[in-house]
Structure 1
Amino acid sequence: MELNRSLQKAILNVLSNHYPDTMDMGTLKLRLPPDFSDCQNLVDGTVQYFIEHGLVECQTTKLTPSSQHQGRFYKATAKGLDFLADDGGLSSILGTVTVKLHADTIRDVLKAKIMESNIPPEDKKRFIDTLKDLPGEALKTFTNKLIEMACDNPQAVFSSLMKFIS
């Protein structure tokens, strides 16, 4: 099956416009814009692809005495709606990760780097002693400055990242 991004967007748009209601496959195909009439054979596969990625869910109903409809009905999921949103929807807000580093962790990393460096041993001792006595707020300010320096040299950051992940 070929992946057609325009068709994918059209399918999700149709389903999102009817959210939270469900829609059967026939109605979904009828609601697609006319320029997708030649893609009708791809719709089933694309919807299944979305189901596997959690962007669409399928609800199967059975014929009962009180219901005249039986079959499969589809609707966009919250993940599908967020996928369409320019800003990533609530997923981007709820998926935010906050990283907190304890002052001792930062000190340990800096100490290790000082010890690995080629500076004279007496300077190493002086730097490490200063680092031990540095108050938490000063360490925070210093760490922010180090991050700013790294951002001012994106090529060095990229090189370090490549070494880290390889």
Structure 2
Amino acid sequence: MKLNRDRQREILNELAAHYPSSVPGSMLGVSNEDIANIAYLTEHGLVQAEFRRNGMGMVLSSFVGITAAGMDFLADDGGLTAIRGVVTIKFHEEALKAIIESKISGSELPEEEKSSLMRSVRELPGETIKQLTARLVDLGLDNMPRAIQAIQSLIS
């Protein structure tokens, strides 16, 4: 059976029109190709459906309904799935200091200047480290060509 993205979208849209209710499979006018597409959507959690075998192959044995994940899939903004999927990154103050110190240590500054600068960084209060980190991120993004090179080298 060939999967058909356009038909999958049509099925999802048909089911979305009835959300949160489910509809009898017969109401969708399902063909053998539709069974494969509905099974595929079910396996991905976008649709709820049950199947049974008969002499001709697989048939829907129950109502078919779109899931919340299916509704989010259709939403232009990704729905609650996108909102809930936001990743928050938190760095402990000491970890940020260590990262900054390592960059200072690897710089081409004279040794006594490195030592003095690293000592100053170790003594910075948390709020200042937060402001410094935000500024360093801004500087990195302002230097986008080098940032893109870094991203590409990390990915490859």
Equivalent residue letter for 2:147: V
Displacement after TM superposition at 1:7 (Å): 1.6
Displacement after TM superposition at 1:59 (Å): 4.2
Find the counterpart in structure 2 of residue 110 from structure 1: 100
- Give the gaps of 5 or more residues in structure 1: 31-39, 62-69
The yes-or-no answer on 1:125 pairing with 2:147 is: no
Between the aligned residues of both structures, percent identity stands at 38
Displacement after TM superposition at 1:24 (Å): 2.7
For 2:74 and 2:68, how far apart are their aligned partners in 1? Answer: 10
Find the counterpart in structure 2 of residue 16 from structure 1: 16
The yes-or-no answer on 1:81 pairing with 2:60 is: no
Q: TM-score, normalised by structure 2?
A: 0.85
Q: Deviations over 1:84-112 (max 9, x none)?
A: 11111111122222211111110011111
State how 1:44-83 maps to structure 2 within 5 Å: 44-59=35-50, 71-83=61-73
For 1:28 and 1:101, how far apart are their aligned partners in 2? Answer: 51
The yes-or-no answer on 1:142 pairing with 2:135 is: no
Equivalent residue letter for 2:130: K
Q: TM-score, normalised by structure 1?
A: 0.80
Find the counterpart in structure 2 of residue 43 from structure 1: 34
**Aligned alpha-carbon RMSD (Å):** 2.1
For 2:20 and 2:49, how far apart are their aligned partners in 1? Answer: 13
Equivalent residue letter for 2:18: H
Q: Secondary structure at the match of 1:42?
A: helix
- Give the gaps of 5 or more residues in structure 2: 53-59
Change (3 A) 1:157 1:116: same
Q: Secondary structure at the match of 1:74?
A: strand
Maintained 8 Å contact 1:60/1:73: no
